[in-house]
Structure 1
Amino acid sequence: MAQKLSDATLSQIGHPVPTYDRTSLTPGILHFGVGNFHRAHQAVYLDRLMNAGGGRDFAIVGAGVMPGDQRMRDTLAGQDNLYTVVEQSADASQARVIGPMIDYIAPGNSAQVIAQLSEPSIRIASLTITEGGYFIDANTGHFDPAHPAIAADGQNPDAAGTVFGLLVAGLRARRAAGTQPFTVMCCDNIPHNGVITREAVVETARLSDPELAEWIAENVAFPNGMVDRITPATSDRERAMVLDDFGIADDAPVFCEDFIQWVLEDNFPAGRPALEDVGVEFVADVTPWEMMKIRILNGGHAVIAYPAGLMDIHFVHEAMQNDLVAAFLEKVETEEIIPAVAPVPGTDLNTYFAKVKERCANPKIADTVRRLCLDGSNRQPKFIVPTIADRLARDLPVEGLALESALWCRYCAGQSDSGAVIEPNDPNWDRLTETAKRAKDDPSAWLNMADIYGATGRDPRFASAFADWLAALWRNGTAATLRRYLGG
């Protein structure tokens, strides 16, 4: 008989559950962005550590910021902040109940978030707020303090509405109390994510309190980190599978692959859990790992996504079974992306890419092409454009990456090759669709989006290749254009 997930029913769940006493946990981490990735990654590592007898003073308090966080908060509260993680290889699925989160502050309760950040027991403030949550200006590559949301926090620092405003308020309170500042740990897929987060927090503070900004710059640690685990969105399908396959009535399960990786710079002055005991790799400089992951895996996702989306392929593993998509990925990665990735200690890049292909081909994950296509306006400037810029700087060809960019443009026009409507799939969808339609006759309209392409869009070598591929896509369709590219 299915059991409704809660502390009271843990002993009746016929799958691994927390072996630690959750009532004895004390908070040590406040986390912004309690989405599926965080719940299948950072929280899983902490659960492993707590099951091994460590880290029990580093329990997680979630913090909602966006209105949409309310639903997750309410759902998890209804099951004592427990949830099921289902790890899936191609051959097997294993369910485990995860329990390191002990509270979740609802969005809109800024005073409660700041009060929690003020507590000396909180030694880490972590965040997964998506690639688009950092207010980065693509023209400069730096934080944009003029963004209306940030400007509002600068004018009203005691009523902060952004993650960065809340972090500043928490640090202000700790400074006033003489409490050691917490470490700010970014867990998003952004190059140099600690550096990016540091700039966002410091510059937000500078708007209202320049002296505090300098104190943060001198005293707060922002370690860089590389995180990796494919974690699809949860739908009714996954909720039904947890119920039918594992007998757990869970309204917020997480399905993910069995692969997991986390590489972190060891810079935690206020202390940290001993995550190295459960597989986290601590290094002096995470740059080689993050470039490998962002360019080969995340860039590879984009290479798969847009041709598959235009050819009405639904699942990522189905895209990997398509000869044209698979060959396109192979050629772009081996000829253009991997050669633009610096060596990584102890890692063979071709072996890493082989693992990426294996992961994407895993049918159990049921990751959707639409998810990989999501939010290109924030992902392309981080995952694709830097590789193009690096190759152009070395006077190397960018034909494959120009085709990837043209495929993204064609996708944003809003119809697949079959004429099927592509539903909005980006925070900037209306703007992208209007620009993509203009680009059909004037390709420069697309590349002139300076917040995405910066100076790279004005490079005549890239612009010429992009225009050629975009015309081919409109004229001949995706399959024929891929055949032309693959034929050399």
Structure 2
Amino acid sequence: MARLSSSTTLPEGVKAPDYDRAALNHGIVHIGLGAFHRAHQAVFTQRALERTFGPWGIVAVNLRSPEPVAAMEEQNGLFSVIVRGEGDDTAEVIGATVGCLCAAQDRSGVLDLLSSEETRIVTLTVSEKAYGLDPVTGGLDVAHPAVAADLANPHDPVGVLGFLVEGLALRRAGGLLPYTVLCCDNLPTNGHIVQRLVLEMAERRDPGLAGWIKDNAAFPSSMVDRIVPAATEETRTRAQKLLGVEDALAIETEPFMQWVIEDRFVSGRPQWEAGGALFVDNVEPYEKMKLRLLNGSHTLIAHLGLLHGLEYVRDVMAVPNLRDMVVRHMKAVLPTLDPVPGIDLDDYTQQLIARFANPAIAHRNAQIASDSSQKLPQRIFAPASEILATGDDAAEFALVVAAWIAAVMRQRDCSDPRRDEIMHAAAAVDAADPSASFFLIDGLFPDMLAQSRTWRGRVNAELRQWQS
């Protein structure tokens, strides 16, 4: 069967890009050609182009895997997004991508892009673990493999920070303005974090470069939200039925999508408002809401699923007592949140429960449970510490930690950048204090939690229930 391409005649009801793709020039480089980017930033950019056409085409860069890049090239930068909710499935072909590169195969091509005058914004979805963030200091982890490689060979980068810094160095040398770096990963105050990491890496190679970046570049924070499961053969089959052609890059997602962005850009931006993006002075209340309510609940759901042999988020939400645990967790989170302009938090939690239970979305618990050591600090440990400081017991957060430990022990493995340390802790469990070895993982737990015997006792009590 034919593949999706620029010459494809789409069936009635399938939305196509409503702008002249042939006239579209690039202005955005996106690093991290994954499902989330395709269902989120690319869709928002399509909406912006449809409202006000401009030089905001996306060149998508994958750091390592060449397969998505090859598929994107074969399909002329086109892919479909299938929205699944209560009604019939709908499909839209997204055409905002005007080029794609695999950094591992074409490092110089990526650097040429980053140093080109046309590039005004670099957006990022590379996952929390890719940044080389030291969990203890909050700064640059010089032992991180990509960070170490890029510090040793700054002109031949392999990691996201290395590419950002070298790209900025080339722009400085060429007399160009820096690009705006817009992080779209689930890190609290993500713009501030990425700015700190970039400046620390730049400082190590050239203090003058670091000063130039600090004075001229912009690192706005943003909060992104859309549930996007990993694509499967079923996804591609569904796309084929809707499109009438094969789409190797098809993805499916929920109707909901949200993007809150600090409005601070060096050289302009697309009108992402056309897709519903909200531009604000302070993103922190929104990102705290999302990280703690949505992502924190997702972490609980994922490990409950692993413990009960349930494959998808929707399966967990279909079990009444497990759903009740999730609802209780959300209620425990609410007192830790700041007022969020324009958001009713009670309505938001009800909306989340419905989204998690969406029977059309097959979001695997194993996918969500990966890299938990990078996610627990901001999603669970931070609100737990704040609750403990008020004199409350933070019991609901102890339940999440216990579920994570129990799932690691039950699975006898985990997908995590700190896997060796976590599995060493699992092998060293003491029946009298079963969580103790996990609390000894360097820099993982904040001192307030690690030193609270009472709270650790709650973790142990919950953990013993899972072990019995």
TM-score, normalised by the number of residues in structure 1: 0.91
Tell me if the contact between 1:145 and 1:204 (Cα under 8 Å) persists in the aligned partners. no
Q: Is the 8 A contact 1:448 1:458 kept in 2?
A: no
Change over 3 Å in CA distance of 1:33–1:168 after alignment to 2: same
Match of 1:305 among 296, 302, 305: 302
- Confirm or deny: 8 A CA contact 1:155 1:207 kept in the other structure: no
- Change in 2 beyond 3 A, CA 1:365/1:458: same
Alignment of 1:101-112 (within 5 A): 101-108=97-104, 109-112=106-109
Matched, 1:350 2:356: no
Q: Specify the alignment match of 1:60 in structure 2.
A: 58
Return the alpha-carbon distance in structure 1 between the equivalents of residues 185 and 279 of structure 2: 17
Q: Does 1:470 align with 2:468?
A: no
Distance 1:268 1:305 in 2: 36
Spell out, residue by residue over 1:170-194, the C-alpha distance to the aligned partner (whole angstroms, 9 max, x if none).
1111111211111000011111000
Aligned-pair CA distance for 1:440: 5.2
Give the counterpart of 2:85 among 71, 81, 89: 89
* Secondary structure of the corresponding residue to residue 451 of structure 1: coil
Helix, strand or coil at the partner of 2:223: strand
Percent identity for Structure 1 against Structure 2: 34
Contact 1:398-1:462 at 8 Å conserved across structures? yes
Amino acid at match of 1:389: S
Aligned to 1:484: none
Instruction: Tell me if structure 2 keeps the 8 A contact 1:85–1:97.
Output: yes
> Does residue 1:139 correspond to 2:157, yes or no?
no
Correspondence for 1:428: 418
The one-letter code sitting in structure 2 at the alignment partner of 1:218 is D
Q: Which residue of 1 aligns with 2:429?
A: 439
1:200 offset after TM fit, Å? 1.3
1:346 aligned partner, one-letter code: G
Which one-letter code corresponds to 1:100 in the other structure?
A
- In the TM superposition, 1:63-212 aligns within 5 A as 63-66=61-64, 69-108=65-104, 109-212=106-209
**Aligned equivalent of 2:28:** 29
Name the structure 2 match of 1:276: 273
The one-character-per-residue Cα deviations of 1:26-61 (angstroms, maximum 9, x if unpaired) are: 010011001000110000011112223x24301001
Unmatched tracts of structure 1, length 5 or more: 416-421, 476-488
SS at match of 1:121: coil
Aligned partners of 2:338, 2:43: CA distance in 1, in Å? 30
SS in structure 1 of the partner of residue 22 of structure 2: helix
Amino acid at match of 1:112: G
Q: Give the structure 1 partner of residue 290 of structure 2.
A: 293
SS of structure 2 residue aligned to 1:105:
strand
> SS at the partner of 1:403?
helix
Q: Contact 2:14 / 2:242 at 8 angstroms: preserved in 1?
A: no
Aligned-pair distance for 1:458?
2.7
* Cα distance between partner residues in 2 of 1:458 and 1:197: 30
Counterpart amino acid of 1:239? R
Give the alignment's TM-score, normalised by structure 2. 0.95
What does residue 453 of structure 1 align with? 445
- Give the aligned length: 464
- Report deviation, 1:159: 0.7
Letter in 1 for 2:139: H
Q: Over aligned residues, Cα RMSD in angstroms?
A: 1.7
Q: 1:118 touches 1:174 (CA, 8 Å); kept in 2?
A: yes
C-alpha separation between the residues in 2 aligned to 1:308 and 1:145? 35
Runs (4+) of structure 1 exceeding 6 A deviation are: none
Q: Is residue 392–residue 398 contact of structure 1 (8 Å, CA) maintained in 2?
A: yes
For residues 276 and 98 of structure 1, what CA distance do their matches in structure 2 show?
A: 17
Give 1:140 shift: 2.4
Q: 1:13 to 1:205 in 2, by over 3 A?
A: farther
**SS at the partner of 1:63?**
strand
CA drift of 1:10 comes to 4.2
What stretches of structure 2 of length at least 5 have no aligned partner?
A: none
